Structure 1
Amino acid sequence: MKKIIFVGGKGGVGKTTCASTLAFKYSKKEKVLLVSTDPAHSTGDLFDIEIKKKDEKFRYSKNLDILEIDGEKEAELYISNIQKQCNLMLSPVIMGEIKGQLKRAKNSPGTHESAIFEKINKIILKNQEYDYIIFDTAPTGHTLRLIKLPKTINIWMDTLIKKRKKILMLKNMKFDRRDRISDDKVLSLLESRRDDLLKIYKILSDSNKVSFYFVMNPDKLSFLETKRGVESLREFGIGVDKIIINKLYPDSIDPFWQEQKYKQEEFIKLIVDEFKDKNVLTIPYLEKENQEILEEIGKII
């Protein structure tokens, strides 16, 4: 695989259009998988296709596959897998209480992010035949939480592994046993989980494999959110390769719209100055639809 590209930004700025354009453009010569993680999927509308089954690849062309992730379904599978693992390791008495907690956890904050993160892991690790995997992401805050999860969870997993080893050692001492710690099912599961997290963390923190494109509009709210997003990704070690400024107004004879254009130009100067070390691109309003707009924007990005 050559590159994993995350296309992010504030809601409504044109992330899907830009992600789809990149996928469409690269697929002319190379094999591409376009993945939508945004609950409000609009990829199918842009390509003028009906994707009836979520979580199944849709073959758009010889080199382009499209996949829309069903967050609700992934959350259910995530909780179901946890329950299966608990069934193998815990007594029926304890499982009675655990099942109730897992049922409540399905709709709790963070569960959907964890579930989608698990899906992203599998997509990246099991689809190495693609030259590009392009993620059309949910709004910025949701995306940043996903990107940061491997590092956060990995720290937590290391703590759990250390505590589990300590418990096993104390058990051996208490009962004068010499059980092999490596045979413990709980420990094996934790270490396997940690190894998978290390693999994905290594990939996500490799700037040669992963890049992030921020899409924004030339206005204050988009600018501030993009600035925070870039700073947050920098702390995580992920570089932002491109800043795409979308929806630029054309010149107008109407005084009101011409004034709006002047205001946009002021913000564009501010954006270019703030991100002078980035590749900043601008996209005008285009009165085109579907494949035509993908072709036109593809000339820019």
Structure 2
Amino acid sequence: MLASTNPVHSLSSLLGQDVFGKPTMVKGFPNLTAYEIDTHDTIEKSKNEIREKIAWFLKFADIKTKADEFVESATMNPAFEESAMFENMIDLMFDDEYEVYVFDTAPTANARRLLGMSSVYEMWVNKMVQSREEAASLKDLLSYSKKKKEKDPLMGYLLNLRERMHNAKELLTDDSLTSFFFVTLPEALPIAVITRFIGWFKEFNIPVGGVIVNMLIDKDSVKQDTPDFVKNRVAMQEEHMQTIWNEFDGQVRAILPLLETEVCDTAMLKRMADLLFAEN
């Protein structure tokens, strides 16, 4: 399964077929399924789930108000989209329908927040469970009603969520099952970005599989009559390659050349895969 959690998807363009919104078999590859996750659909589903849980709670607590205001407040949180996408991501993994899952994440700090969400979720849920238990105990002490004790509608949800988050954390931090690979160009800014990213991911104990260098110009293709612009680019890349070897010593898994055309169909993708896994 090749899935994209990037809000700006590119898999459909890459594969030359529509894979948006549902898992789709890739033409010509019987063992490959691609899926651009519908961000809007994921967020709406999460909003509906939150609305349902809040409505349960308000009824349980006998509070006479509508859930919509609470839902709006909860979903305006800047991390809400990442948490919704994370839920979708772990749903795919827990379904366990495929041998290998490859996720294309957003090329920003969203990726770090997305994968770090398991630790954040676990801490939040533990706090919520503790609060619910304390509130239920206090309610029992202060209640004089002879009504049959009602089951807390949120407790079961929180306990289930805690177990899911624990399993997700175990999966994401198991270096025998999970690795995160960074793709960089031999340029100063991308190198600086992934250097920070690798440090961030180590904070969450998420295994880093290595670094892939992309779009390196073949020095042997540079001739005497090659334009100065290209010669300067080659010299610049050589300098930055030294930085890459120094910064990511032992972590560089592959170096991919700058191809004569962009990778935008399955034939080019196969060519890129052959280069990626070629023995050096």
Q: TM-score range by the shorter chain?
A: 0.7 to 0.9
CA-CA distance at 1:108 after TM superposition: 4.3
Q: Any residues of structure 2 matched to 1:155-234 within 5 Å, and which? A: 155-175=123-143, 183-234=151-202
Of 179-188 and 221-230, the range deviating more from structure 2: 179-188
Alpha-carbon offset, residue 106 of structure 1: 4.1
Deviation per CA, 1:52-73: give whole Å up to 9, x if none: xx33111113211111111112
Give the C-alpha shift of residue 83 in structure 1: 0.5
TM-score after normalising by structure 1: 0.81
What is aligned with 2:6?
38
- Which position in structure 2 is the counterpart of 1:30? none
Residue in 2 that maps onto 1:258: 231
Query: Letter of the aligned partner of 1:247 in structure 2?
Result: M
Q: How does 1:9-20 map to 2 (within 5 A)?
A: none
Aligned to 1:21: none
Q: Distance in 2 between matches of 1:296 and 1:191?
A: 47
Residue 115 (str. 1) matches residue 84 (str. 2): yes
For residues 104-143 of structure 1, the aligned pairs below 5 Å read 105-106=74-75, 108-126=77-95, 128-143=96-111
Q: Take 1:34 and 1:44, find their aligned partners in 2: how far apart are those partners?
A: 11
Q: How far has the Cα of 1:293 moved from its partner?
A: 2.2
Q: What RMSD, in angstroms, separates the aligned Cα atoms of the two structures?
A: 2.3
Question: CA shift at 1:161, angstroms?
Answer: 0.8
Deviates more, 1:86-95 or 1:173-182: 173-182
Q: Secondary structure at the match of 2:97?
A: coil
Identity of aligned residues (%): 25
Distance apart, 1:172 and its partner CA: 2.1
Q: SS of the counterpart of 1:90? A: helix
Q: State whether structure 2 residue 39 is matched by structure 1 residue 71.
A: yes
1:247 counterpart (215, 240, 244): 215
Q: Please state whether the residue corresponding to 2:179 is helix, strand or coil.
A: strand
Return the alpha-carbon distance in structure 1 between the equivalents of residues 157 and 217 of structure 2. Answer: 55
Q: What is the correspondence of 1:24-103 to structure 2 with a 5 Å cutoff?
A: 33-51=1-19, 54-60=20-26, 61-91=29-59, 94-96=64-66, 98-103=67-72
SS of structure 1 residue aligned to 2:84: helix
253, 272, 281: which is aligned to 2:254?
281
State the one-letter code of the partner of 1:134.
V
What TM-score do you get using the length of structure 2 for normalisation?
Answer: 0.87
| Cα separation, 1, equivalents of 2:74 and 2:158 | 20
Q: State how far apart, in whole Å, the 2-side matches of 1:106 and 1:239 are.
A: 30
Distance 2:64 2:174 in 1: 42
Q: 1:136-155 alignment to 2 at 5 Å? A: 136-155=104-123
Report the alpha carbon displacement of residue 287 of structure 1 after superposing the two structures with TM: 1.8
Provide Cα deviations, 1:152-175, integer angstroms capped at 9, x if missing partner: 111011111111111111222233
Give the Cα–Cα distance (whole angstroms) in 2 for the partners of residues 281 and 182 of structure 1.
59
- CA shift, 1:100, in A, is 2.2
Question: Any idea what the Cα deviations from partners look like across 1:242-283, whole Å, max 9, x if unmatched?
Answer: 211111123432122111111111111111111113134211
Aligned length: 265
Post-superposition offset of 1:234: 1.1
Q: 1:220 Cα deviation (Å)?
A: 1.0
Deviations 1:135-168 (A, max 9, x none): 0111131110001011011101111111111111
- Counterpart residue number, 1:267: 240
Question: Residue 39 of structure 1 contacts residue 71 of structure 1 at CA under 8 Å; is this kept in 2?
Answer: yes
Structure 1: gaps of 5 or more residues: 1-32
Distance 1:184 1:178, change over 3 A: farther
**More strand by proportion, 1 or 2?**
1
